[in-house]
A and B are shown apart, each in its own frame.
Chain A
Amino acid sequence: MERPGAGLGGARVTAVAAAALLVLPLGLFVGAVAIPPGEILRILGGGGGGPHRDIVLSIRLPRLLLGALLGGGLAMAGATFQALLRNPLAEPYILGVSSGAALGAVAALAAGVVGGASLALPLAAFAGAVAALALVFRVAAAAGRALDVRVLLLAGVVVGAFFAALISLILSLSDAGTVRTAVLWMMGSLYGAGWGAVGVAAAYTLPTALLLAAMARALDTLAVGEETALYLGTDVERVKRVAFAAASLVTAAGVAVAGVIGFVGLVVPHALRLVTGSRHRTLLPLSFLVGAAFLATADAAAQALFSPTEIPIGVVTALVGVPLFLALLRRRMAVP
């Protein structure tokens, strides 16, 4: 049976990348206030003025870029976790990052420290994510198998469940406003994204993306098997440490800024493997581009579908992601 993409490899890769880049900026043209495309292009070129200029440059553009950075980061992290855990169903939250971040955010909300400070909530979420990861790695180390992927997976599930229980506890003792905010936060949202958030996301996402891309070949070998990777010249333990840390960091930063946005990290790399193959040299950059386009588009949909109210972006990625995932699963089952 022909491998998907065989013989057309380069052409497919280019086509996918081009499609992603074309779709990515569409969010600029969507919004509650109708702005003609011509005017938007003029504003981007430095012209235009008044509220429309502000809307495009201070509301739509940073939000689009944030969505792109987060989507790209989550998709790359997902691809990396899939390789490290040698499991096509792995995704960035598998080691408890989302539960940890949610706990941090909920705790901050319940403690009333959030208020007007824009920084407290993401910092608390980030701290929670890091705490969850540290706990997962500690649990695995205590079992004597510090980077054994099966133990890590189990520890991730257990820690995640524990944190989820703590979240429920806090929410059950909180007032309605806090609960509502917490629940909406956990569904993910890019609402209110400004250039500050873009800067933070870029600072975390771009360097780790480059780092992961540089480890493409090492990840190829790890995805085959750890013993084999060792014999092919990969410093397995070092690569695992760095890759786990990098992928976890970009995931934690993403969740801290925008809440729990699911399915991007699972579906995008999974679909790309079927279309353009599993070599990380192409899979990682493509995951970034397609993840960016996917999330940016999902965000545009989240805003447009029930305008002027917006629905949580996690809802859109799930509603789109689940059928997509089922379709992929069927296709995958057909491949022996």
Chain B
Amino acid sequence: MRLEAREVTVRYPGAPDPALDRVSVQVAEGALCAVLGPNGSGKSTLTRALLGAVPLAGGEALLDGRPVAEWSRRALARAVGVVPQSEPLPFPLSVRELVSMGRYAHLGPLARERARDREAVEAALSRCDVAHLAERTVQTLSGGELQRVRIARALAQEPRALILDEPTAALDIRHEMAILELLAGSAQCGITILLVTHHLDLAARYAHRLLLLDRGRLAATGTPAEVLTPETVTAVYRWPVAVRTDELTGSPRVVPLPGPHPS
């Protein structure tokens, strides 16, 4: 599935500046694309714009060439699995129940669950290493476990694209690497991945393309090597950095330098 934003502008009510200002982005089918940028640069807004979850003040968002506005929510949910940054979850639910909600778009309001659906749920649970937690109450999980459960839910949708907003924020090395390898593997199977993250190095290692946002504008786009130059990163993040190439992986590594002396 191709994801595309053309000159997308988003304004939140009461905000002086646009959250996104004429941003154009193209993510090819099967690409793993990471969205980077400082806090408040519009990363989450970009994902919402692509999913039609926020009104556009200008421009248009397209999924597989069709404008998002023309997709029904159910069809969209069958095609794109989303892991938002957080959700309230006020009521006790089991892990299995939460992950099973990923199948609702396929089932509609009334159909009974089929073996097919249960299999999709089981597969998603295993791939995210949460199968052993299936009967636990979601509210009793650690932050990292909950994160993996939510990713499993998105996988249970059997989507053609995955959009994840900081999915590895609370995960330890083992689980973070496992998720990134899972995403990389999914991308190889043709699933388009859009990943919002703060981890510059891991993004550089796993992503085919990077999008760097700066205060609502697209600052740079291209391969990790193209985007992660010391000048660009220092300018966008407003902190001096150096960029080295990692010997083992061959991908760029950003090294923050000591800050400017307070005057």
Contact = CB atoms under 8 A, between A and B. Distances in A.
Interface of A: 1-4, 6-7, 82-83, 86-88, 144, 214-218, 220-221, 223-225, 227-228, 230-236, 273-274, 277-279, 335-336
Interface of B: 13, 51, 53, 72-74, 76-78, 80-82, 84, 86-94, 97-98, 101-102, 104-105, 107, 109-110, 135-137, 139-140, 153, 157
A233 B76 contact: yes
A182 B82 CA distance: 53
21 contacts: A1-B140, A2-B135, A3-B93, A3-B136, A86-B88, A215-B109, A217-B104, A218-B109, A221-B101, A223-B90, A224-B101, A227-B53, A228-B87, A231-B53, A232-B77, A232-B157, A233-B77, A233-B104, A273-B91, A277-B93, A279-B93
B35 to A, nearest CB: 17
Contacts of B76: 233
B91 A278 contact: yes
B90 A88 contact: yes
A273 B13 CA distance: 37
Nearest to B107: A217
Contacts of A232: 77, 101-102, 104-105, 153, 157
Given A230-B73, A231-B51, 16 more contacts: A3-B94, A7-B135, A82-B91, A86-B88, A87-B90, A217-B104, A217-B107, A220-B104, A221-B104, A224-B93, A225-B84, A225-B86, A228-B84, A231-B84, A232-B101, A233-B73
Contacts of A225: 84, 86-89
Contacts of B102: 232
Contacts of B107: 217
Secondary structure at the B interface, as helix, strand, loop or mixed, is mixed
B87 A224 contact: yes
Given A3-B137, A233-B78, A220 B89 contact: no
A214 B87 contact: no
| Complex A-B, nearest 3 residue pairs according to Cβ-Cβ distance, in ascending order | A233-B77, A233-B105, A225-B87
A230 B53 contact: yes
A233 B88 CA distance: 18
A234 B73 contact: yes
B84 A336 contact: no
A216 B110 CA distance: 9
Nearest to B157: A232
Nearest to B113: A281
Nearest to B84: A227
Contacts of A218: 109
Given A86-B88, A87-B90, A277-B97, A217 B109 contact: yes
**Residue among B73, B74, B105, B139 with max Cβ neighbours from chain A (10 Å):** B73
Contact of B137 (A1, A144, A216, A235): A1
A20 to B, nearest CB: 22
Nearest to A236: B73
Nearest to A279: B97
A11 B252 CA distance: 57
Contacts of B93: 3, 224, 277-279
Contact of B135 (A6, A234, A236): A6
A335 B137 contact: yes
Most-contacted residue by chain B among A87, A233, A235 (CB, 10 A) = A233
